[in-house]
């Protein structure tokens, strides 16, 4: 079951094309596609929720509460999968945007290079 979303009906949007053209074709060719996609979406939601929870837990150990600063060395030592959720948990309450994957990659490279220069 899909949610009726008015912007989805606007043809230039990619999700409009996906919903109006691609998904119906998939459904005609593979009737089980809708159920499979719904299952995958639910799994992705569960994983995203778990990563957000784990990111919030990790942030508590990396954050200096009085200054609201992040321990960069400890952040870089986290598994790659947790770095983005930690940044989101840190930056959102401060009203700041979370860097994109490319920006985060560049930031990590700069921080590692700066650490070597010390």
**Does residue 74 contact residue 83 with C-beta atoms inside 8 Å?**
no
5 assigned to some structural domain: no
CA distance 70 to 74: 8
pLDDT of residue 4: 60
CA terminus-to-terminus distance, the chain: 55
Instruction: Count the domains in the chain.
Output: 1
18 assigned to some structural domain: no
Residue 88 pLDDT > 80: yes
Residue 2 pLDDT > 60: no
Q: pLDDT digit string (tens) for 16-66?
A: 888 888 999 999 999 999 899 999 999 999 999 999 999 999 999 999 989
Q: pLDDT digit string (tens) for 90-118?
A: 999 999 999 999 999 999 999 999 988 87
78 assigned to some structural domain: yes
63 assigned to some structural domain: yes
Within 10 angstroms of residue 63's Cβ, the number of other Cβ atoms is 18
**Does residue 86 contact residue 53 with C-beta atoms inside 8 Å?**
no
CA distance 24 to 6: 18
**Does residue 27 contact residue 34 with C-beta atoms inside 8 Å?**
yes
């Amino acid at each position: 079951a899909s949610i009726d979303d008015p912007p989805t009906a606007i043809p230039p949007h990619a999700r409009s094309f996906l919903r109006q053209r691609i998904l119906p074709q998939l459904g005609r060719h593979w009737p089980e596609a809708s159920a499979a996609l719904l299952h995958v979406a639910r799994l992705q939601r569960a994983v995203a929720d778990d990563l957000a929870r784990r990111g919030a837990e990790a942030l508590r150990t990396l954050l200096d509460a009085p200054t609201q600063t992040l321990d960069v060395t400890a952040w870089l030592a986290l598994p790659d999968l947790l770095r983005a959720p930690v940044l989101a948990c840190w930056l959102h309450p401060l009203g700041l945007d979370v860097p994109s994957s490319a920006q985060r990659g560049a930031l990590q490279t700069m921080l590692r290079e700066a650490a070597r220069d010390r």
